[in-house]
Structure 1
């Protein structure tokens, strides 16, 4: 993972920023790391017209995997990335001259659920020992939080499990569906869909176990903020409106709002997935990324052996925009 992000630094040095002046910015290209109801406030901001109210046109693209999402941002293929904050740390640790800044938090817990092949009525974490665990990408938030939680329950991820990590992020769910692994971490609505189809059963939530962490944030290059500060503020305001809307509306109402982004998923599964996330406080209610959550993230990365060096909160987190938006 670190070697990969080292290769991205060259892009920062040779690719010019394709940005417009503040009064000309209308379209914002977002690269999201996956398509999940975990990101419901983002979709609500689109369907309920909050971005449109701010005079912004959104072009949303799903780019599976944090490394690929960050490549899209750094190479100029996207203006904003919705991805785990760990990616900005990897880039900064390699000496970036145009740091990637976290400016608006979207989620504040892990968004994955532990699935088992069998419906375990009285699940305990020690039941994972000696099992085959279909893990996530090394150095990514799902895997690091997963290891953090496992160690919390006295399980050595690399010693007590047969840990599989050679499957691309986009193919993990299909690999589990085809019979690989006894346990797996999956996002919603895939987890609920698999449960309905009898492919697996949700037995625990990593979000409930890991505490507050900037799991997924909107981030962009410092140069983009410098040259498009008005657009970034409008973007953040639209996100905040959506967060407040999600906080004050029922899972059923939210599901109807975001349904178009999940055309192959039954509305009842979208609803139940959103309810799970709301119940465990996964959706941030405002875009301010706290220093406590930032430090918790680095502790989790350090525990997983993936923290290249500690990065000060003020170096990669800009809360001034979000604080300005919520103060009005």
Structure 2
């Protein structure tokens, strides 16, 4: 009798364990992402979500917008999010402070500045010298938009601190509204806001900071070194999904991409989304792969140094790990 029930019990244990094993293989891993802004600039990320590329990798991503680089990094360091989509300069700031658990860039999403120079009045045959003695509504000091903006101005012989009235004390989320209400003669704006302002007659796009400032690891997915150590598989799956999103955007029309990302811009007309995606594609803003190139990293250091935000040059191997990006590319072939 004992043997009989013993075997029955053992069988039940085996069946139960097998059941658990089956369930485990289909379970998904939750990943909380904090994006620095909601922008068409990040179209490949939205495509990866909407096309189910993260789900295919067994990931359940929760996306939240944490407006501003400082807020996004605070959320990452405090553990409120697992992965941050923010400018690579933030990882350098953390490293410069001597962090014991540095922030590591593992997948690049955009490779140029995503802002455009918008003038209140229409200007034909624009020349950068026309900004002199004007009121320029810039971005937050120390952030990539502002540093790339100042880098471009200096490139054209304009001293941002002395040749124009530079306003940079307005919160990132309020810059567009400030310009619309009458502050400044020129402003730096991301898409789709730039296209919306053109349609509504609030401004005119006259130049691209992305084109002017060159290749930069402008927006990158990053996480804490400790998270990578504990969740290498998740980071790899995450990068695989992002690469698929990047490739999808590169091989589809602006109209197709705009349609896919519409759920993230429910109050934006389709033609505006198409215009924004087209602008970014034409100037090569969307990175074609998640690999962060050393030449782009060095350009970033030059931009930061020019802005006076770099204590010393940080070699990429200190805060960049391209392993996951390269694996994602190899595994897709």
TM-score w.r.t. length of structure 1: 0.92
Higher Rg? 2
CA shift at 1:25, angstroms?
6.4
Cα offsets for 1:131-180 (capped at 9, x unmatched): 00001100000000000000000000010010011111111010001000
Q: 1:95 & 1:60 partners in 2: Cα distance?
A: 29
Q: Conserved in 2, the CA contact under 8 Å of 1:45 and 1:51?
A: yes
Across the aligned residues of Structure 1 and Structure 2, the Cα RMSD in angstroms comes to 1.3
- Does residue 130 (structure 1) correspond to residue 133 (structure 2)? The answer is yes
Cross-structure match for 2:65: 62
Cross-structure match for 1:225: 228
Q: 1:57 & 1:74 partners in 2: Cα distance?
A: 21
Corresponding residue to 1:271 among 271, 274, 299 = 274
Partner SS for 2:267: coil
Cross-structure match for 1:113: 116
Corresponding residue to 1:310 among 308, 313, 317 = 313
**Aligned residues, how many?**
308
Cross-structure match for 1:4: none
Q: Which runs of 5+ in 1 are unaligned?
A: 1-21
Q: Conserved in 2, the CA contact under 8 Å of 1:102 and 1:317?
A: yes
Q: Conserved in 2, the CA contact under 8 Å of 1:54 and 1:238?
A: yes
Q: Which runs of 5+ in 2 are unaligned?
A: 1-24
Cross-structure match for 1:327: 330
Q: Flag as ranges the 4+ runs of structure 1 deviating above 4 A.
A: 22-25
CA shift at 1:234, angstroms?
0.3
Corresponding residue to 1:191 among 194, 203, 206 = 194
Q: Conserved in 1, the CA contact under 8 Å of 2:30 and 2:62?
A: yes
What is the 5 A alignment of 1:101-250?
A: 101-250=104-253
Q: 2:26 & 2:225 partners in 1: Cα distance?
A: 18
TM-score w.r.t. length of structure 2: 0.91
The 3 A distance-change label for structure 1 pair 65 and 140 is same
Q: 1:53 & 1:327 partners in 2: Cα distance?
A: 17
Q: Conserved in 2, the CA contact under 8 Å of 1:25 and 1:228?
A: no
Q: 2:137 & 2:225 partners in 1: Cα distance?
A: 36
CA shift at 1:308, angstroms?
2.2
Cα offsets for 1:228-278 (capped at 9, x unmatched): 000100000000001000000000000000011001110000001000000
Cross-structure match for 1:99: 102
Cross-structure match for 2:48: 45
Q: 2:170 & 2:91 partners in 1: Cα distance?
A: 23
Partner SS for 1:91: helix
- Does residue 84 (structure 1) correspond to residue 102 (structure 2)? The answer is no
Q: 1:227 & 1:55 partners in 2: Cα distance?
A: 17
Q: 2:192 & 2:275 partners in 1: Cα distance?
A: 9
Q: 1:59 & 1:249 partners in 2: Cα distance?
A: 25
